[in-house]
Structure 1
Amino acid sequence: MGELLAAVGIGACAWLAWRFLATTAGRRRGVAAAGAGACLLLSAFCFWLWYDLYLIRDFNELGRDYDPVDQVVYTDSGFVWIVPALLLLAAGAWLAWRARRR
């Protein structure tokens, strides 16, 4: 549940940043470029979290993976990190396109 709330929080912050940058990016090239860089950096971070918490795990039929070294049980709820990663990637690509176009 905590991962889902964190993903929703990151998504909400990205949406607010996108709304701010969408209104100012049309007037300033530097703002669009900075917004694109920030979105792409956050997207890379979310992709790394998705990879680390979901993609490399070998889940059983109950959706759990036990790490005997760290003695931690991972659940398959880490897949939610792909949603903000893709949204931030799309926003970053759009802002980069707008910055390059001007």
Structure 2
Amino acid sequence: MLEVEETLKRIASHKGITGTILTNADGIPIRSTMDPVTTLQYTSYIVPIALKAKNFTYDVDCKDSMTLLRIRSRLNEVIVVPNGEYYVIIVQKICVD
């Protein structure tokens, strides 16, 4: 778990990162750099989408697995990294130059 904590701190230090969330396999937040309401909002929407994408990838080719999911809007990008035990959710602002 210490390695995960260090990784989350390193990710959060990058420019444009709005927040990071670590959830268990059921989507329950374990650690977050965002306020509780925003954390629950992201996890309640993102984890089911990630689970569907993970299942879709497996259904298409059972030898394959999802390693990363990116969802981009005009203002933000959400990156989800699944693991058997947890999901790492990263929210970052879109840089428009």
Fold conserved (TM > 0.5)? no
Say which structure, 1 or 2, has more relative contact order (CA 8 Å, 6+ apart).
1
Q: Which protein is richer in helix relative to its size?
A: 1
Q: Give the TM-score normalised by the residue count of structure 1.
A: 0.29
Which structure's residues are more often strand, by fraction? 2
